[in-house]
Amino acid sequence: MAPPTLAWTGDAATGHLVLLDQTRLPLDVTQCVCRQLEDVVEAIQSLRVRGAPAIGVAAAYGVVIGLQTARDASRREFDERLEEVRSILAASRPTAVNLVWALTRLAQTARDHPELPAPDVHDRLLLEAAAIMDEDRQTCEDIGRHGAALLANRTGVLTHCNAGGLATAGSGTALAVLFAAADLGAELRVYVDETRPLLQGARLTTWELTRYGIPNTLICDSMAAWAMQQGRVEAVITGADRIAANGDVANKIGTYSLAVLAREHDVPFFVAAPQSTFDLSIESGDEIPIEERDGAEITHGFGRQTAPDGVDTWNPAFDVTPARLITALVTEHGVIQPVSTARIAQVLCLDGGRR
């Protein structure tokens, strides 16, 4: 059995975060240990831990680690260090909103207890990080339960990148829907985009689906249109890294093109994500920052040069799919369909304030 995506060992004062190193999968199941703030930042930036919910959990524990050196300081010095740690972690990856959401939640926990000395606040922050992880596990189950009905009477399903247990603390978002549907008896055949340039679909999603016993077929990203035209794909489901108030979705690069293809071929396009992935401070996807990564990921993929020296590159890690191309959003609170600002507010119970 593979180790969990994330695990905490020890107390707030001396504990550490243990991650399943996703850069080594699928051939090498290896853990990496984060004992310092720099270790957590490196793990997030290098994609040892990835997926919006998992990044949020890792960042929460990163705050605890980053404050270990200030545990015995004055409360003022502790709070100053907290803000410094938050800033460092927030800059590690800009697109996934769960990162900032988790950091904000821990900062609020500290603000809620101004009377406590630093060690007591530090202990509470560890409890809050653990709560975020536990809640994410339950959220994954709820997303799967709500989304399974969308795949009823569908066999061929296409997914992109990795939105499974490796991207969360639980069973995933998009893959949680597939797992739940399979548990209910759906006879699925999942088509998995390889997901260039880092092959998260090939390396991670096929690994998870195979371990779960769901038949899957790996295809190149450029084969998706033909698979739809040939009638192999009856639905598309992906995860998300940030969802704007109007339902525009930022996800792994290549998601937008799949949504366009799905519309052309009259294939429903679903997105599964927790409420923490919604960024209601922005009206549309035009405001979502898009991370751009090193061009060497394209020219020297996995250490092998595949392009001439000095070639120009452009390597956005994400794109934005307009809400008009999305059939439904699946959340832990239910299915959002049609995808609109009003329907999002209704399902997430935002009329009376955020849950």
- Tell me how many helices (H) and strands (E) the chain has: 12, 14
Q: CB of 176 within 8 A of CB of 272?
A: yes
Structure tokens at 129: 């990080």
Choose among 316, 181, 326: nearest CA to 253.
316
Which residues 6+ apart lie within 8 Å of 272 measured at CB? 143, 147, 163, 173, 174, 176, 177, 237, 238, 239, 240, 329, 330, 331
Q: Tell me whether residue 345 is exposed, middle or buried, using C-beta atoms within 10 angstroms of its C-beta: 0 to 12, 13 to 18, 19 or more.
A: middle
Choosing from 241, 248, 279, 319, which is the catalytic residue? 241
CA–CA distance, 129 with 144 (Å, rounded to integer): 23
Choose among 330, 314, 336, 350: nearest CA to 144.
330
Catalytic residue at 241? yes
CA–CA distance, 212 with 209 (Å, rounded to integer): 5
Cite the active site residues. 241
